[in-house]
Amino acid sequence: MSGGVDSSTAAFLLKEQGYETVGVTLKLWHSNDDKRRPGGCCSTEDISDARRVCNFLGIRHYVLNMEEEFKSCVVDNFAGEYLSGRTPNPCIVCNEKIKFGLLMQKAGQMNFDYFATGHYARVEREAGSFVLKKGLDQHKDQSYVLYRLGQSELSKLVLPLGAMKKPEVREIAQKNNIPAAHKPESQEICFVDDDYADFLSSYIKDFGSKVKPGEVVNSEGKVLGKHKGLVYYTVGQRSGLGISYEYPLYVVKLDTKNNSLVVGRKQEVYSRDMEVEYVSWVSGKEPALPLECDVKIRYLHRQAPAVVSSCENGVKVNFKEPQMAITPGQSAVFYRGETALGGGLIK
C-alpha cells in the first residue's frame, strides 16, 4: 500500500469481498531522504497515509524497510543504464526485483495465501495456465510494467482494480470516505524529485570523469556542435540540443563508443527493426517463433503490429510500419489481443 487512492481502494474492496486483508508499505530509498522531504512516493508522509487508511479499514499495517535492496537493485541499475547510453524504466525493475520479488517472498514467509496490488491489469486462467491481461481502463492499463511476472507470481496475484476504470475507483473511495480518496497521482520516477540528469550528477561517483562533453554530429558525420554529456539526452529528443539549424533536429542515436550525439531529421528517428534481449515469457516458455503480435516500445506507446523472430541472445522484432524513437534500455512488450505474452529490453 503506497498510501494512494488505488492501493487504498483495492484494500477496501478485498475486505468487502471477505478476504482477511493486511496492508504492507515499503520504505524505499529516495535521493532527498537526508533532507527530510515532506512528500512524494514512499515518503514518511506516504507511510502515514497508508497507516491511516489501514486504521480506517480496521486492518493490520506493516512497514518493511527495503531501502538498501531498492538502492542496489533499482537505483544503481538506473544510473548504470544511463552511463551506458540507454534509457531505463525503473518501475519495471522495481516490480520484478522488489515488489513481486522480495516482497512477495516475504508474504510467502508470513504465510499469506495471496498478494494484491492496485495495478490496473488482470490475471485470468486459460487452458491450465495463468495469463496477464490489460486493465479495462485503456488510459491506466499497467500490464506493460508487469510483463516480467511469471506463473509463480501470477498464481498468487489478486488485482481488484483490473476490471475498473479510474473514475470508478475515485468514486468508491469518495463514497466510502477512504482517507486517500482525493490524493493526487504520484510522480513518474519515485526516487527523484527534480530533473533526472541533476540526480545522476549528484548520485554517480566521479560523475565529471564518466560523463564528458562531446560532438554533436549528423548521420554523415558532420560536426554540428557540442553536447554536455550523453546522459542528458534520449532517442527522439528535440528540445534542449542547443543547436540552431536549417531544419528541426532530433536525437537519432547515442554513440557511446565515440561519445558523440547523432542527430537528424524527424524521419531518421523512425525504424522498422530492433533486437530485444533478456526476454521473458509470462507462460514460462517461448512460443513458436516467428510470432505475429502487437508490440509496445514504451509505456505510453500505441502498440503496433510486428513479427517477432529468433536471433542470437534474444529476439528480433520487425514492425509492419516504422516506429518513432525505438530507445535502447526501454522495454518492448508483446501482446496478442488483450494478453501480454512477455517482453524484454530493447538492445
Which residues are tagged catalytic?
94, 190
Strands 270-281 and 339-346: antiparallel
Contact assessment for residue 168 and residue 135, using Cβ atoms and an 8 Å cutoff: no
CA-wise closest residue to 87 among 244, 205, 208, 230? 230
CA-wise closest residue to 327 among 312, 315, 345, 305? 345
Alpha helices of the chain — where are they, by DSSP H?
5-16, 44-57, 67-70, 76-83, 90-94, 104-109, 151-154, 166-175, 196-203, 207-210
User: If DSSP codes are grouped into helix, strand and coil, which group holds residue 197?
Assistant: helix
CA-wise closest residue to 115 among 148, 160, 59? 160
Burial tier of 67 (Cβ tally within 10 Å: 0-12, 13-18, 19+): middle
- Kindly report the backbone phi and psi dihedral angles of residue 24, in degrees, each rounded to the nearest multiple of 5, phi listed first: -130, 130
